[in-house]
Amino acid sequence: MIQENRSFDDLFATFPNAYGATQGLMKTGSGGDTEVPLQMVPLKEHCDFGHGYNGYLVNYDGGKMDGFGLAPYACSGHTTAAYQYVDPQQILPYWTIAQQYVLADQLFQTQGSGSFTAHQDLIAGGTVIDPAKNISIVDTPDRTPWGCDAPKGTKTSLLKPVGSILKLEQHRGPFPCLTYETLRDLMDAHSVSWKYYSPPVVGGEGSLWNAFDAISAVRYDPSEWGVNVTSSNTQIFSDISNNQLPAVSWVVPDRQDSDHPGPGPDTGPSWVASIVNAIGESPYWSTTAVVVVWDDWGGFYDNWAPPFHDEWGGLGFRVPMLVVSPYAREASPSQPGYISHTQYEFGSILKFIEDTFNLGRLGTTDSRATSIEDCFDFTQPPRTFQAIPSSLSKRYFLQRRPSYQPVDTE
């Protein structure tokens, strides 16, 4: 399940025993740093902070992690707005999942970039486009939709290593209809079923947007586009009920359920709980792992500097990850929740899928990443599922009209 635009500290700053923080550093006009207390705020955030590659560099500030209040990546001059954490009472389903199952506090984005490449990373482990593997796509295409359906002449942006630095070449990359391999290629080769549940989006920015719209081999394969790649994210409910859930699923929320800042409601915690509960109350529970991840940091403050830098613009900042399974590791028999402090990246999720189904490797960041396998203990007795309380149920999401809005625009 791929939610949107939240750093680890923004959702779990005060979670017991996690590596969170309630104080942050902010660069001052004189070039020094000042300590800023993180303010507890509602989940609904109206400021959409900059979170492209340049914003990442500004926020990171050479490892000082003090640039989250600097223009133009702040919120209309409110320099401390990104120094916040969400009131835990407003995200109780997330906290309940973390208390009962696994919360990972050392998962880093593959790249310091926005949603277009983040979603590519979650199907391919990277966006490298040259045989030498040193040129990667970054940020968003210059026109929408983001993929093979983009207008003729649409360009992507590139990162290229030049000596010891990475050079950003804005809007000088290829048309966003890409040919690199994804997990789809490995799964098709091994007859492993898969589906990408994408919400309907009609017109406007991000029309037809989803990760596989940018993958030529899927977009132009009528046996997969519209079949394995759906235009209804709520179809997962009927697939669960009808015993048609594939072996591997990606689930993308409707904009209003995504946790993305902006106008309108944010019903993300209930959306996630509804999927977890549908799985937990079905025969699939005994053989299913649900991984919930946020695609990028969204410009929100995080206290933990990425552990290294590579030639592809990563690692990016920390984002939360929740892992739900009857075999989710337990801190102790009397304390079911577990916090993983293992260093992960998006390739860690891919590696776990590859190993589970004996798929081999894509040879991107999945090769170097540590699998999320240590979030599980397959020697322990399987747990009996307990429903995750939430204010909205599956029925709400099935009956509500979709927003038809893009999940993200950066």
Each residue's pLDDT tens digit, 73-84: 778 778 899 999
Correct CATH for 2-399 of 3.40.720.10, 3.30.420.40, 2.160.10.10, 1.10.10.10:
3.40.720.10
Q: b/e per residue, 219-235, with b = 16+ CB within 10 A?
A: bebeebbeebbbbebbe
**What number of residues does the chain have?**
410
Sign of CA dihedral 130, 211, 150, 259: negative
Q: Which residues contact 265 (CB under 8 A, 6 or more apart)?
A: 44, 256
Return the pLDDT at 410. 77
Instruction: Say how far apart CA 392 and CA 273 lie, in whole Å.
Output: 9
Return the pLDDT at 204. 60
Q: Which of 118, 114, 115, 136 is nearest to 127 (CA)?
A: 136
Return the pLDDT at 205. 62
Domain ranges of the chain: 2-399
Structure tokens belonging to residue 23: 């104080």
Q: Model-level pTM?
A: 0.97
Strand 102-104 and strand 338-340: the pairing is parallel
pLDDT in tens, the chain (410 residues): 999 999 999 999 999 999 999 999 999 888 889 999 999 999 999 888 989 999 999 999 999 999 999 877 778 778 899 999 999 999 999 999 999 999 999 999 999 999 999 999 999 999 999 999 999 999 999 998 999 999 999 999 999 999 889 999 999 999 999 999 999 999 999 999 999 999 998 766 666 779 999 999 999 999 999 999 999 999 999 999 999 999 999 999 999 999 999 877 889 999 999 999 999 999 999 999 999 999 999 999 999 999 999 999 999 999 999 999 999 999 887 788 999 999 999 999 999 999 999 999 999 999 999 999 999 999 999 999 999 999 999 999 999 999 988 887 77
Instruction: Say how far apart CA 178 and CA 175 lie, in whole Å.
Output: 8
State which H helix or E strand residue 377 sits in.
none
Strand 338-340 and strand 2-3: the pairing is unpaired
What amino acid is encoded at 6 in this protein? R
Return the pLDDT at 170. 96
What backbone phi and psi angles, to 5 degrees, belong to 215? -110, 110
Return the pLDDT at 57. 96
pLDDT in tens, 157-211: 999 999 889 999 999 999 999 999 999 999 999 999 999 999 998 766 666 779 9
- DSSP annotation of 38 reads P
Return the pLDDT at 35. 96
